[in-house]
Structure 1
């Protein structure tokens, strides 16, 4: 990559304001393009640079989410005579897509930072799953970026109208785009989301056609694309999260396909994703109605009268239970972390006291 302006990378007054203290220290602004096992590639006005964290920044990070993620803006130091930089700090984020890490650990994993829009991609084949889409929408709304549903492989869908109807039934108020990387249908319409050097995150399960979509947006082959299997699913080809600068302006964060998508902090995402249930719930007799067996529950009444699908309510309940369980685990983790900090402070004080005693005796 040649020299590039910060504006092209999505720089604006929000980040400029937060960068002011670092500018006085002689640091430069850069944006994280790739992260791999603690090593980074960043884009700056000087071009593409290798980067690493300072020891202090790594030590001060209380969790994984405090470390740089793809899409982050960072304050970095350029070492004289070297083509690499050292990252001192991460600027406050604006819009992100996070999940709880895969497995049984309770910890936030930021998949894409500083994004304006989230493309939730799903294939118009047997892979189409309303419940999975509701989960993606919940996380997208919670992260503060606007979700957009991108339906791929329209060229091999035999029941296009019914498939789109299934999506629109759960993606309420969310733009839905029908695309085909084979015919090029619908791809041009997506380019407006990148106007003004905006950043779009591309997310979805393995094999839904994200790599083909990236290549269509770029107008050239960047990501490897493998042939479809007999069931209409592509083979997963993206292996890392990467910030891509598009030739016509705008940026895309491509991500590997996800087989596991655990919820993270809600911050209203569930209510946004299920705005139909939220609206009906306003008519419930009890303000804290859980929509289980309470008398005067408007949500249960809507289900009984065919105004709300039972499957939709079941999905809402499942995600709500998952969030409640997550919050309980988060509280326990926070309490454990607080105890750890207190023990570290006590150990430090005891060590200081012993040193003072030795100095007095000496």
Structure 2
């Protein structure tokens, strides 16, 4: 047992999780099962934040047999074992998840996240299609999103870049900041309510670790030096959970070059595009360069944005690349 005792509600424990835990305990008479939040994951081990502090744990055989692997942010129930690590028996149902599609299916990045902070910068990282996929992935997992424009001083037209980001989704807040100088950090902190969990994602070198340190008020995450190109260097190599001063939790993720959206129903949230696709010439149209594509025609008319179609195509698993449509003048 390491560190001081924790108030579980400050790191995301809710009455809903307590109810789920009680149901698991009813099915496991004779076992003493304590809640813990996963702060780090190994092959068959995990570091848990429990009421007694940070503790190491191993996965029970029944958990491995069920092919259930906890991820950072999960809430689990673990059994205390004398003179041994805790034994994790169950993963509680996830409220939200941040996931991406990979060749083998779905890869979970983190669980039970309330707000995902998508960080970009005006030094060559502004890729509207990719940022749209980030936002779609956040929505698909049930969390809310925010866009952070770091290193805002690198552009001579910050308002134009901010307007470009706001156009991706008017419902998503867009915040300018200079994390290294501390400018705008208070606005980011205001997005994370008491007991809430935030995840920080984006390409490498955008300043995620610098923002993490600014939010924590201490040097906890390693930051890389800025090179001659004025780009930061990738430093975070594993997902790390941090407790925020005043309550709340932050997940600092390694840099992602891109993200492919995972959906149980790949068409969910794109009903407008599905309706347009019914008029495509080909039944298996990918809405890229096929002739007679109703979706590409809609893009040309300005009826729907190229970025939204690109996000839909990524969710469907089609090769990326914007529909080749010429807008009408």
TM-score in terms of structure 1 length: 0.77
Structure richer in helix, relative to its length: 1
Q: What SS does the corresponding residue of 1:193 show, helix, strand or coil?
A: coil
CA contact (8 A) 2:40 2:239 kept: yes
Runs of 4+, deviation exceeding 4 Å: 266-270, 278-295, 299-302, 306-309
Q: Do residues 253 (structure 1) and 251 (structure 2) align? A: yes
Structure 2 counterpart of 1:44, from 50, 75, 91: 50
1:208: which partner in 2? Answer: 206
What is the Cα deviation at residue 202 of structure 1? 0.8
Q: What SS does the corresponding residue of 1:182 show, helix, strand or coil?
A: helix
Q: Do residues 186 (structure 1) and 187 (structure 2) align? A: no
Question: 1: distance between equivalents of 2:315 and 2:13?
Answer: 36
Question: 2: distance between equivalents of 1:244 and 1:203?
Answer: 14
Question: 1: distance between equivalents of 2:278 and 2:133?
Answer: 28
Structure 1 counterpart of 2:236, from 210, 223, 238: 238
CA contact (8 A) 2:121 2:151 kept: yes
1:88: which partner in 2? Answer: 89
CA contact (8 A) 1:236 1:257 kept: yes
Against the structure 1 CA distance between its residues 117 and 269, is the aligned structure 2 distance closer, same or farther, given a 3 Å change threshold? farther
Q: What SS does the corresponding residue of 1:139 show, helix, strand or coil?
A: helix
What is the Cα deviation at residue 316 of structure 1? 4.3
Against the structure 1 CA distance between its residues 70 and 281, is the aligned structure 2 distance closer, same or farther, given a 3 Å change threshold? closer
Q: Do residues 163 (structure 1) and 155 (structure 2) align? A: no
Higher alpha-carbon deviation: 160-169 or 263-272: 263-272
Q: Do residues 303 (structure 1) and 304 (structure 2) align? A: no
Against the structure 1 CA distance between its residues 41 and 202, is the aligned structure 2 distance closer, same or farther, given a 3 Å change threshold? same
CA contact (8 A) 1:142 1:269 kept: no
Question: 2: distance between equivalents of 1:269 and 1:183?
Answer: 42
Equivalences for 1:1-362 in 2 at 5 Å?
A: 1-23=3-25, 25-61=31-67, 66-82=68-84, 84-101=85-102, 105-265=103-263, 267=265, 271=269, 297=294, 302-306=298-302, 308-309=304-305, 311-312=306-307, 315-316=310-311, 318-322=313-317
Against the structure 1 CA distance between its residues 286 and 151, is the aligned structure 2 distance closer, same or farther, given a 3 Å change threshold? same
Question: 1: distance between equivalents of 2:147 and 2:245?
Answer: 23
TM-score in terms of structure 2 length: 0.84
What is the Cα deviation at residue 224 of structure 1? 1.2
What is the Cα deviation at residue 249 of structure 1? 1.1
What is the Cα deviation at residue 260 of structure 1? 4.6
**Count of residue correspondences:** 309
Against the structure 1 CA distance between its residues 318 and 232, is the aligned structure 2 distance closer, same or farther, given a 3 Å change threshold? farther
Question: 1: distance between equivalents of 2:308 and 2:284?
Answer: 14
Against the structure 1 CA distance between its residues 207 and 97, is the aligned structure 2 distance closer, same or farther, given a 3 Å change threshold? same
Q: What SS does the corresponding residue of 1:147 show, helix, strand or coil?
A: strand
Question: 2: distance between equivalents of 1:3 and 1:20?
Answer: 22
Q: What SS does the corresponding residue of 1:98 show, helix, strand or coil?
A: strand
Question: 2: distance between equivalents of 1:95 and 1:323?
Answer: 25
Q: What SS does the corresponding residue of 1:225 show, helix, strand or coil?
A: coil
What is the Cα deviation at residue 26 of structure 1? 1.5
Question: 1: distance between equivalents of 2:132 and 2:62?
Answer: 40
CA contact (8 A) 1:199 1:253 kept: yes
Deviations 1:208-247 (A, max 9, x none): 1100010010011111112112223210111111111111
Q: What SS does the corresponding residue of 2:269 show, helix, strand or coil?
A: helix
Could you tell me which runs of 5 or more consecutive residues in structure 2 were left unpaired when the two chains were aligned.
321-329
